[in-house]
Each structure stands twice: as C-alpha cells, then as structure tokens.
Amino acid sequence: MKLYALSLFLHLTSVTVWVGGMFFAYLCLRPAASSLKPEQRLPLWEAALGRFLNWVGIAVVLILLSGLYMMMAMGPANTPWPIHAMAGLGIVMMLAFGHARFASYRRLRRAVQAQNWPDGARALDGVRRIVAFNLVLGFIVIALAAAIRG
Ligand code: HEM
C-alpha cells in the first residue's frame, strides 16, 4: 500500500473511532444512563470515559500525523481550502479534547474516588459540553471533506 493510501486509512479509521464514539456517548449511553442514581451513574461514566478518552488520545495523534503528511504530499499550494479549514477546526477539536481529558475528566475521577457526587456531576457536565461541541465540529469537518469533491 502506498504511504498516502495508508495515511488516508489511518486518518479515516481514527476519525471514525473519535466521532462515532462521541455520537454513541451523547445520543445512546447518556439517555440510557440518565435514570441511574449518581452513585451508579458517575462511576459508570468514569470507567467508560477513561477507556474512550485513552483511545481518542491515540486517534488524535494519528489524525494529526496522517493529515499533516497528506497536506505535505499534496503541497501546501495545491491543498484546497476545505482541507485548510479541516486542519484549523481539527486543531480546535484537539484542544477541546485536551481540556476534556486533562481538566474535566481528572476532576470526575477525583470526585468518584472521593464519592463526592455533586462535584462529579459538575465535572461530567463539563465533559458533556465539550463532547457536544466536538461532535458538531466533527460533522462540520466531515461536510468540509465532502465539499472537496463538489
Ligand atoms: C490537524 C487536523 C487535520 C488535517 C491536517 C487534515 C488533513 C487532511 C488531508 C490532507 C486529507 C486528504 C484529502 C484527499 O486526499 O483528498 C484529509 C482527508 C479527510 N479528513 Fe482530514 N485533516 C485533519 C483533521 C480531520 C478531522 C478532525 C476530521 C473529521 C472529524 C477529518 C476528516 C477527514 C475526512 C472524512 C477525509 C476524507 C476526504 C476525502 O479524501 O474524500 N480530518 N484530511
């Protein structure tokens, strides 16, 4: 497989893991878990998000490296504007992810360990807001990818 095709493969599978996981968390797990008591709901989210955010950490590195490689291979002057917009919004998504992982999720983990449910609920709401933001941006970036073809 040529290096460009391999990069596109890694780019697209990583995007699938990230955006698909956010869709599942927000639109499937969140409504299903909402009827649980805080002492059940918050440890469930802490365990599920801990695993998901680790996978997203790997996905973010792969998206960045593969995307930059493909941009370099195209040559910056030949790169269409939707790809520049993709890179810009992609970096905003990565910074938002970093905040969710290293600020909000850490607070959630500490609160669950201390069995402090009100603090845990506030921290989880912080993660929820970032996931909503990144899910919308993710769909916009995928629309930009489609715009390259049209
Ligand atoms: C730093 C961030 C990023 C950079 C530098 C980047 C760059 C690129 C480049 C150069 C291509 C190849 C286009 C082609 O060969 O036609 C591409 C494809 C693609 N990217 Fe990104 N990207 C980034 C982030 C993202 C993110 C966050 C998403 C989705 C949420 C995304 C979704 C896609 C999709 C769906 C394609 C396939 C387009 C196609 O080939 O038809 N990218 N990206």
Give 89's Cβ-side CA count (13 Å radius): 19
pLDDT for residue 130 is more than 70: yes
21 CB less than 6 Å from ligand 1?
A: no
120 CB less than 6 Å from ligand 1?
A: no
**Which tens digit of pLDDT belongs to each residue from 70-87?**
999 999 889 999 999 999
**CB contact at 8 A, 41 and 112:** no
**CB contact at 8 A, 79 and 71:** yes
Residues 6+ apart with CB under 8 A from 141: 85, 86, 89, 90, 93
**Which tens digit of pLDDT belongs to each residue from 72-128?**
999 988 999 999 999 999 999 999 999 999 999 999 999 999 999 999 999 999 999
118: enclosing H helix or E strand: helix 117-147
Q: Which residue reads 């290293």 in tokens?
A: 102
